[in-house]
Amino acid sequence: MKDKWEDLQDKLQEIVLEEYSENLKREFLYPQNIGKIDNSDSWSRITGVCGDTVEIFLSIEQGMIKDIKFWTDGCGFTIVCCSYVTRTVKKKTIEEAYQKSPEEVDEYFGGLPEENKHCAHLSVNTLRAAIEKYRNLAP
């Protein structure tokens, strides 16, 4: 049974989220691929203009992203962008994953607030940096 504090938290969350798209709400409430991969095939860390840092870890097998995880100290918008990016490139080739664009991320969420569009860039740029690092290390 919920107490009054939990009811208040739920109501506040509904009020805050009501102005955003269903895709953004779903990604915010159920983010995926948070964590790190021990002994990853590649990883990258980038700190964005806002001070948020994103790390992306890749496990690659035969040119495919077998597993992908991210870690961030960032805001909710950074989390949802990273969740979407990692979720949609998992099981894709590294070439397909590299084609992910910040504009696609923004469009999926129905347009991020102007002050948070950099979160889409940060998530995509960190993915691309991890792929480039892998390409440079691969035999």
Sheet architecture: strand order including 64-72: 42-47, 53-61, 64-72
Quote the pLDDT of residue 139. Answer: 62
CATH number for the domain including 93? 3.90.1010.10
Quote the pLDDT of residue 20. Answer: 81
What total of structural domains would you count in the chain? 1
Instruction: Give the angle 32-78-113 at the CA atoms, nearest 5°.
Output: 120
Quote the pLDDT of residue 125. Answer: 98
* Backbone φ, ψ for residue 51 (5° rounding): 100, -10
Full domain range(s) for residue 18: 4-137
Quote the pLDDT of residue 98. Answer: 98
Q: What is the DSSP string of 65-99?
A: EEEEEEEE---HHHHHHHHHHHHHHTTSBHHHHHT
Spell out the per-residue pLDDT of the chain, length 139, in tens: 567 777 666 665 665 556 788 899 899 889 999 999 999 999 999 999 999 999 999 999 999 999 999 999 999 999 999 999 999 999 999 999 999 999 999 999 999 999 999 999 999 999 999 999 999 986 6
Q: Is 88 exposed, middle or buried (0-12, 13-18, 19+ CB in 10 A)?
A: middle
DSSP annotation of 34: B
> What global pTM score does this model have?
0.87
Quote the pLDDT of residue 126. Answer: 98
Distance CA 101, CA 59 (A): 21
